Amino acid sequence: MRILILGAGAVGLTVAAKLSEHADVYAVCRKRYAEAIATAGFVMTGIWGEGIYHFPCGESVPAGTWDYIIISTKSAATRDICESYQHLFGNAEVVSLQNGIGNEEVIREYTDHVIGAMIITGFEWRADNAVHVSVDGGETVFGRFPEGCDVAVETLADLFSSAGMRSVASPAVRSAVWSKAFYSCSLNPLGAVMECPYGDLLKTPAWNIITEIVHEAFAVSKAEGVALPQKSAEEYLAFLQNEKIPPTAEHYSSMYQDIVGGRRTEVDYINGAIVRLGEKHGIATPVNRTIVNLTHFKEELR
């Protein structure tokens, strides 16, 4: 099985390392990452295990066809990736292994073979060739987008699981993507702005903000016709408080890591997506809008 990973950063390279022992994998990544990996291998530490992996990667793509093409870039680059590599899509299954809302919709403009995914794992750069896996918030969910499940989806989920990355196939991946978006919009930017781990966000002042974020997001998801596992904002908040935050309490958000590293965050594709879709349906989202502005303010202060 041949797998191509496009836009490989911390997530994509770590996934490439794990899959490399079970499939023919190539990762398209920045030149400095490829050079560091070629010199000393890819070093992975953390809860997915520790080891040094050797797999091919670089800025150009080898010839041939692919069974799966995994897009792991940040949401802002999804369309550019599709424009640059759509000639490779062919009959390959194109997988969005990304944060945010709207990536699968963009990919569907370029291919009919779209698999959505929800991954809720923490990845932290340690060097150009080293990533620490700090949080495993549950199984990665794969599904035909916007809905459905088939052999290609099940094969991919089984492959990930065989490689030590717990995964399941689901007929309702859009619901899973939105559920992850709720988790991200509640915790990710607030943790970045306040420079604190997720556990600190259970404190009352922060929780009051999260409560408003979730109520706005839930109203938008309902208007979009997304069926979430939780039937109300209060039910989701209880789920977040009791089941999702405790195992990730020490984790610093990806947006925090982006800001510290001088990179733009994905807030426009998480809370910003809630704002845009709220405008579409005439739903006010003032707290999510404020979070977007605060996060951009924090970016500019660095």
Q: pLDDT, tens digit, for every residue of 198-225?
A: 999 999 999 999 999 999 999 999 999 9
Cβ 57 vs Cβ 16: under 8 Å: yes
Tokens 């702005």 — which residue? Answer: 193
Q: List 58's β-bridge partners, or say none.
A: 28
- Mean pLDDT, range 67-80, rounded to an integer: 96
Q: How high is the mean pLDDT of the chain?
A: 95
Find, among 47, 66, 63, 51, the residue nearest to 21 by Cα.
51
Per the rule left: phi > 0, alpha: psi between -120 and 50, beta: everything else, 140 is beta
Which pLDDT does position 117 carry in this prediction? 97
- Mean pLDDT, range 65-87, rounded to an integer: 97
- Mean pLDDT, range 167-186, rounded to an integer: 94
Which pLDDT does position 136 carry in this prediction? 82
Which pLDDT does position 264 carry in this prediction? 93
Region 2-171: CATH code: 3.40.50.720
Beta pairing, strands 114-118 & 140-144: antiparallel
CATH 3.40.50.720 location in the chain: 2-171
pLDDT band of 229, cuts 50, 70, 90 = confident
Q: Tokens in use for 235? A: 């039910």
Give the CATH fold of the 175-301 domain: N-(1-d-carboxylethyl)-l-norvaline Dehydrogenase; domain 2 (1.10.1040)
CATH 1.10.1040.10 location in the chain: 175-301
Share of the chain above pLDDT 90, in %: 91
Sequence-ordered list of residues with C-beta below 8 angstroms from that of 198, at least 6 positions apart, any chain: 187, 191, 245, 248, 249, 250, 251, 253
